[in-house]
Amino acid sequence: MSDLGHLPLMLTVEEAAQLLRIGRNGAYSAVADGALRSVRIGRTIRIPRAAVADLLGIQRDRDDLPAEARITGETRR
């Protein structure tokens, strides 16, 4: 993943907000609006690294593609 490959696969909302240079409340709003994909685990919210890349329009590496795309060689946007 171009410039994001050094990041963990899952980010906290606060980490994603810092990366996007937006406020914490703005990040939570983006999650609530569906603009920023997220995963809820219990009471916590995690942001996949690939979701940040998608929001920024950065090309994803093969490791960040869904499993079915890795098998077939397709990419989904």
At 13-34, the pLDDT tens digits run: 999 999 999 999 999 999 999 9
Higher pLDDT, 28 or 64: 28
What is the pTM assigned to this prediction? 0.71
Higher pLDDT, 16 or 66: 16
pLDDT at 18: 96
Are 15 and 51 contacting, i.e. CB atoms less than 8 angstroms apart? no
Measured between alpha carbons, how far is 22 from 42 in angstroms, rounded to an integer?
25
The full set of domain ranges for the chain reads: 10-60
**For residue 63, pLDDT beyond 90:** no
